[in-house]
């Protein structure tokens, strides 16, 4: 159980909060490149670490992210004209480029050098893997970009799902690091499968327009073991398989990658990683990066199965139609027949539980058990890192090179005497092709 002081340190990211200041030292996935696809197109509003920001692509195609409010009289630059490689504020015509330079102050005298004395808050951006990354730390302290597996595959071989969660970043991240809840919350979608026991992992099929995952185990009490790494940690959920439990373990290895990534096992040929980017203390922007190493993926199918279809599941700002106010459209009649949670989609189920804790979870009322090993470790590592950073140290994962492109989460059935650490340890490319459309 965390003390109130520790809980505040973990959750708070706005202003001078140590956790937020530390997160500024990482490259942060800010938005899809497609959201500002048009050079000279409409600026877009976004919020990261409590800051109101505006993103745009200038006339030369450069992506920019800066303080939303004009440095003159604080009018919103979301309304600005985007032309001639600058945003022009509608209020008094000030023009600002992607680097925060004041290009023109047309209301000032012709001989004024006023604009040269002002620098607008603008942050470095980089585009990688269909995403715009932003660095919000001190200039000159940028680390290398995290080149995860999804950043290097062709555009047709990846899908990026984006959804807004009405809850603090930490309680959202904890969901992907919690293996045992899948036996309950997702039990209508993840079911035991006898025939999968010899395959080394799960299999998937589509039934009634949703993915049904068959797992080679019905063990609802996984034993968790963790191993610290230079990027965070990896842990194994160790279960008894359905077949030959006296000879084998069923292993699922999940990774926590600082500061807010979770990588969990995907079917052969695919890779999954999720990011939980703090918008502010109370809201999180969720990104789910899916990629296939073998063949193109179908984005529309992925959006539908994740409950992430704009205009159906999501509003234009990526907030959900299913909310706390409507109980996430839980279907109590379906719960009597064939659905454990009554909530559509694995991702929506996770978000419903996370949002149901309140915007900021009061962890003083928790009673943690053996199934919470990974959650406890993430909290401790991030708290230790924030304290270390506050004293002038380097944040977790930024001290040395990390082979992001080689990181893998994996599931396998292995002999009882084989160490679980051999599973997913810098695995190479998948051995078998997979139908990424299923």
Of residues 327 and 215, more confidently modeled: 327
Residue 40: count of CB within 10 angstroms of its CB: 15
Q: What is the pLDDT of residue 359?
A: 95
Chain segment 295-323, per-residue pLDDT in tens:
999 999 899 888 899 999 999 999 999 99
Cα–Cα distance measured from residue 305 to residue 289, given in angstroms and rounded to the nearest whole number: 14
pTM, whole model, 2 decimals?
A: 0.92
Q: d(Cα 220, Cα 192) in Å, to the nearest integer? A: 10
Residue 332: predicted pLDDT: 95
Percent of the chain scoring above 70 in pLDDT = 93
181: confidence class by pLDDT, cuts 50, 70, 90 = confident
Would you give the distance in Å from CA 56 to the centre of its chain? 22
- pLDDT tens digit sequence for 319-355: 999 999 999 999 999 999 888 999 988 889 999 999 9
pLDDT at 276 over 90: yes
Could you tell me what percent of the chain has a pLDDT over 90? 79
CB within 8 Å of 68: residues ≥ 6 apart: 45, 52, 53, 54, 76, 77, 78
Q: Report the alpha-carbon distance of residue 131 to residue 129 in Å, rounded.
A: 6
Tokens of residue 134, six digits: 């932003």
Structure token digits, residue 136: 């919000």
Burial state string for 84-105 with b = 16 or more CB within 10 A and e = fewer than 16: ebbbbbebeebbbbbebebeeb
Q: What is the dihedral of CA 74, 75, 79, 83, to 10 degrees?
A: -60
pLDDT value of residue 215: 78
Would the pLDDT of 192 be above 90? no
Q: DSSP letters of 96-111?
A: E-TT-BEEE-TTS-TT
Lowest-confidence segment of 75-84, 107-116, 257-266, 319-328 by average pLDDT: 107-116
């Amino acid at each position: 159980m965390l003390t109130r002081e520790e809980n505040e340190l973990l959750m708070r990211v706005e202003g001078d909060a140590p956790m937020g200041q530390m997160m500024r030292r990482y490259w942060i996935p800010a938005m899809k490149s497609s959201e500002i696809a048009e050079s000279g197109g409409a600026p877009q509003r976004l919020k990261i670490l409590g800051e109101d920001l505006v993103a745009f692509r200038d006339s030369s195609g450069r992506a920019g992210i800066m303080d939303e409010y004009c440095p003159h009289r604080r009018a919103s630059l979301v309304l600005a004209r985007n032309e001639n490689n600058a945003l022009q504020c509608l209020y008094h015509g000030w023009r600002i480029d992607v680097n925060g330079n004041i290009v023109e102050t047309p209301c000032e005298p012709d001989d004024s050098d006023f604009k040269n004395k002002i620098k607008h808050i603008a942050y470095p951006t980089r585009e990688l893997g269909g995403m715009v990354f932003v660095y919000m730390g001190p200039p000159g302290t940028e680390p290398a970009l995290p080149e995860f597996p999804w950043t290097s595959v062709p555009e047709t071989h990846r899908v990026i799902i984006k959804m807004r969660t009405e809850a603090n970043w930490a309680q959202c991240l904890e969901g992907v690091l919690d293996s045992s809840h899948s036996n309950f919350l997702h039990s209508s979608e993840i079911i035991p499968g006898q025939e999968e026991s010899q395959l080394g992992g799960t299999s998937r099929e589509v039934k009634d327009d949703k993915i049904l995952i068959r797992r080679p185990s019905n063990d609802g009490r996984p034993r968790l073991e963790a191993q610290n790494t230079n990027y965070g940690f990896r842990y194994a959920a160790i279960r008894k398989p359905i077949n030959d439990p006296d000879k084998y373990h069923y292993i699922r290895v999940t990774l926590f990658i600082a500061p807010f990534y979770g990588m969990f096992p995907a079917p052969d040929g695919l890779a999954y990683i999720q990011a939980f980017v703090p918008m502010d203390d109370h809201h999180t922007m969720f990104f789910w990066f899916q990629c296939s190493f073998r063949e193109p993926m179908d984005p529309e199918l992925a959006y539908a199965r994740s409950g992430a279809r704009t205009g159906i599941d999501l509003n234009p700002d990526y907030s959900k139609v299913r909310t706390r106010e409507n109980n996430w459209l839980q279907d109590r009649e379906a719960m009597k027949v064939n659905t454990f949670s009554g909530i559509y989609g694995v991702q929506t189920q996770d978000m419903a539980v996370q949002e149901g804790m309140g915007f900021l979870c009061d962890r003083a009322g928790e009673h943690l058990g053996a199934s919470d090993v990974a959650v406890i470790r993430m909290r401790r590592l991030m708290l230790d890192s924030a304290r270390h950073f506050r004293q002038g140290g380097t944040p977790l994962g930024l001290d040395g090179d990390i082979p992001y492109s080689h990181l893998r989460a994996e599931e396998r059935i292995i002999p009882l005497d084989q160490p679980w650490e051999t599973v997913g340890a810098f695995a190479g490319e998948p051995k078998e092709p997979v139908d990424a459309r299923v």
